Structure 1
Amino acid sequence: MNSNIDLVATLASRGFIHQSTDLEGLRTHLATGSRTVYLGFDATADSLHVGHLQGIMLMRWMQKAGHRPVLLIGGATTRIGDPSFRDESRPLLTNEQIDANIAGITRTFSRYLTLGETAGQVVDNAEWLDQIGYLQFLNDVGRYFSINRLLTFDAVRQRLDRENSLSFLEFGYTLLQAHDFTELAKRHNCTVQLGGADQWANIINGVELGRRRDGRELFGLTMPLLATADGKKMGKSMNGAVWLDSERLSPFDFWQFWRNCDDRDVRRFLALFTELPLDDIDRLANVDGAALNQAKIVLANHVTALAHGEAAAEQASATALALFAGGKHGNDLPCFSVDRSQLTGGLTVAAALVTCGVEPSLSAVRRLAKGGGLRVNGEVMQSGDELLSPDDSRWHVALGKKRHIQIEVSQ
């Protein structure tokens, strides 16, 4: 990115900015040198999902502008759980689960950001939190915070207003995150923290701790909390989370999520999740009806290429084209296996889908068939109780207009 470009203006125009502790100060700070910027994630799963993608893309823009991203993974704080806007505590994970999750998340980061000692870096807050004693923490951090003020934060107040349990461990989470910011400032000269709008109070506490205790000037920037136009939480679909890791979700299903987005979301998603110029985005999205489908395909291709590579995006697009042009099979479809012995004994389409874990029950498949939404190799299934032919070895199954899978006989 051209160093003369106003990065803050660019980010605002693409929809990344919600609040800042000092927006004009941050603008000058980013324009007058290469800065280290951090974004934090707890290691609650071995992959991130598209609900995290806004933050990753923001970090990508920062790195393109010459700034150094630090991706802080909460190996220590994952054991506690961030109470922000949650009604209950998170389940606790073992150290082994946390380590596996950190490895998976790091793989995801490396697809979007250049990592290395002189480039972006992944840091685990267990490096310092595992070493600090309770009395030292109270002395170094706790003395700078008022309980009265902490009780006013929305994440805490909402839990208390609903009479949901809030443990002392969770209550201390905001102090741990404030400590993280100041530790990153000391260790990596990190001066900017990014986060979702629900992290505003935690970010403010880090900025204030750095100022009051260490005399450091730190900055915070939050992104809008994203939901789809129909009100669903970003990162969720009818089949669960839309994961960024191909071992969790196939590139085809990932591509399909973007291709099938609501018309009202197309321009916003193109601005946030691709690097296309805004003029091009406006030309693509400033259309109505069926013409908007081309913009959705462009969106799906660009987002999938970033997540899984150009080849995977091209394969997913070709598979979708073949399917909707009447083709039977696509090499990139999710594939499930059944035993030959099941076929010889008589295996219904419904039973196969339930056995493979594609549908939760026989009745769910039958309801789908009754509505005309179940096809096998292009043939409409009337009930779902039709038998799979023992003479075949692979079937393309369409469940509604948007879900396509393959079932094959295991060897």
Structure 2
Amino acid sequence: LWLDPEKTSPYDFYQYWRNVADSDVENCLCLLTFLPMDEVRRLSALKDAAINEAKKVLAYEVTKLVHGEEAARQAQEATEALFGGNAKDMSNVPAIEITPEDMTAKIIDVLTAAKVFSSKREARQLIAQGGLTVADTVLQDAEACLSADMFDADKSLLIRKGKKKYFRLLVK
């Protein structure tokens, strides 16, 4: 985890704190936020599914301190759009800009060039395990190419790597 947004994006930074272990929430709230201790105790007392409220507060507060309020808000909105089940405004989801020529390139070439994968081998392995989703469809073929009809009207395409890593491909 890096404080530099070039190494860890505000969205990934937010996600790190959003997914901290339940047992660490109280310590993190105490040490890493400026919340009043009464609020820290209230949030720390939450159990089971309710502890997610405390994790949202933790993620927002720490991201706000490190990256600023606007970046924290954008990370929070992207998370709600992806995992909240109601909002579908994907404008704050991390984006990878591609050229119009990339719209017909091999998916693994585009994603490897964008550093989503460290290598084509990693990409092929994840695809073989059913871990890459392109526009709500699990990618089965490691040699599959992008096509213009995959992109929405805004020339955007949602990619999910594993269970929780999301990216939008945006045509410049």
Query: Could you say which residue in structure 1 is the equivalent of 2:63?
Result: 304
**Mapping 1:135-214, distance limit 5 Å:** none
In 2, the alpha carbon distance for the partners of 1:265 and 1:384 equals 39
State whether residues 328 and 378 of structure 1, in contact with CA within 8 Å, keep that contact through their aligned partners in structure 2.
Answer: no
User: Closer, same or farther in 2 for the Cα pair 1:293/1:385, shift >3 Å?
Assistant: farther
1:280 aligns with 2:42: no
Q: Which amino acid aligns with 1:270?
A: L
Q: Which has the higher contact order (CA 8 A, sep 6+)?
A: 2
Aligned to 1:353, which of 111, 118, 122?
Answer: 111
In 2, the alpha carbon distance for the partners of 1:291 and 1:280 equals 15
- Please tell me the root mean square deviation across aligned C-alpha atoms, in Å: 2.2
Secondary structure of the 2:55 match is helix
TM-superposed CA distance for 1:338, in Å, is: 2.7
Secondary structure of the 1:359 match is coil
Secondary structure of the 2:148 match is coil
User: Closer, same or farther in 2 for the Cα pair 1:386/1:326, shift >3 Å?
Assistant: farther
Query: Could you say which residue in structure 1 is the equivalent of 2:22?
Result: 263
Query: Could you tell me the TM-score, scaled by structure 1's length?
Result: 0.38
In 2, the alpha carbon distance for the partners of 1:336 and 1:380 equals 20
State whether residues 250 and 333 of structure 1, in contact with CA within 8 Å, keep that contact through their aligned partners in structure 2.
Answer: no
Q: Which amino acid aligns with 2:124?
A: R
In 2, the alpha carbon distance for the partners of 1:352 and 1:327 equals 28
TM-superposed CA distance for 1:266, in Å, is: 1.1
In 2, the alpha carbon distance for the partners of 1:270 and 1:380 equals 37
TM-superposed CA distance for 1:394, in Å, is: 2.1
In 2, the alpha carbon distance for the partners of 1:331 and 1:342 equals 21
In 1, the alpha carbon distance for the partners of 2:113 and 2:97 equals 9
Query: Could you say which residue in structure 2 is the equivalent of 1:403?
Result: 165
Query: Identity percentage over the alignment?
Result: 39
State whether residues 77 and 92 of structure 2, in contact with CA within 8 Å, keep that contact through their aligned partners in structure 1.
Answer: no
In 1, the alpha carbon distance for the partners of 2:65 and 2:165 equals 22
Give the structure with higher Rg (CA): 1
In 2, the alpha carbon distance for the partners of 1:388 and 1:281 equals 47
Equivalent pairs counted in the alignment come to 167
Secondary structure of the 1:372 match is coil
Query: Could you tell me the TM-score, scaled by structure 2's length?
Result: 0.83
Q: Where do 5+ consecutive residues of structure 1 fail to align?
A: 1-241
Q: Where do 5+ consecutive residues of structure 2 fail to align?
A: none
1:375 aligns with 2:133: yes
Greater alpha carbon shift after TM alignment, 246-255 vs 398-407: 246-255
Q: Which amino acid aligns with 1:334?
A: P
Aligned to 1:292, which of 51, 67, 73?
Answer: 51
